[in-house]
Amino acid sequence: MTSDLKGKAVLITGASTGIGAAAAKAFGRLGSRVAIHYNSSRAAAEQVAADVRSSGTQAVLVGGDLSKPSNASGVVAETLAAFGRIDVLINNAGGLVKRTRIEDYSEEFLEGVIALNVIQVALFMREVIPIMRKQKSGSVINVSSIAARHGGGAGAIIYAGAKGFISTATHGWAKEVVADGIRVNAVSPGVIATPFHERYSTPEQLKAMQAMIPMNRLGTAEECAGTFVYLASDAMSGYVTGQVIEVNGGQHMP
């Protein structure tokens, strides 16, 4: 496993559970210093931090409700105060909000989905890219979704569109910052067994999704973590930028 991530400062949004938590632990095992952002799940975030520290490295907790995008600047400031730099930004936080049919869309619902999945990501880019420009190095890893490829399941179309924005913007951001030694990529998970689907998907929906996956099973958060490590490491992916890497058991093969 690569060693060039040892000592690197990694900020992961939405890192208290699921994919973000698995990524935080993976970076901890490699000796990275990890800022674990959480919203309401402080106890879970504390356990993730304990796991990271057990690997002999530093972890800090950074709270903030990212459905209020203005909190992004505070999360970045706290991370910078703790580590003095940010080498890797993982924009993992996001959510479906709720499954909603077209005829039931409200302005509040639409604004909520966009705020949580688009605006706060763009604001994290605004806050972190100047830091990385000064460093002349950095890796940003956004989190898209297989929903961006197929338009989303029942009631999840606006979420899918928001993740489509993330995939498209990743290409553009990568081109804008490449001259400053910054790489921007995205991970696009398929159907992963995390609290996301516990909250938003019924057992029947998950069974129908599984039937569409060639591997005939749901993925795990741990099976996504290696892709984040790969994209963060200059040793492993130094010539990779502007890419959206699918982790979906073969459900979508671009």
By annotation, the residues acting in catalysis are: 159
d(CA 160, CA 146): 8
Q: Please give the C-alpha separations between residue 183 and each of 78, 89, 110, 131, 177, in angstroms, as whole numbers.
A: 23, 11, 31, 14, 7
Distance (Å, rounded) from C-alpha 219 to C-alpha 199?
Answer: 17
Angle CA 72–15–158, to nearest 5: 65
Structure tokens at 96: 């479906």
Q: Which residues contact 53 (CB under 8 A, 6 or more apart)?
A: 28, 59
Rounded Cα gap, residues 246 and 243, in angstroms? 10
Using DSSP's 3-state secondary structure scheme, residue 59 falls into strand
Q: Compute the distance between CA of residue 210 and CA of residue 175 in angstroms, rounded to an integer.
A: 36
Q: Counting Cβ atoms within 10 Å, is residue 104 exposed (0-12), middle (13-18) or buried (19+)?
A: exposed
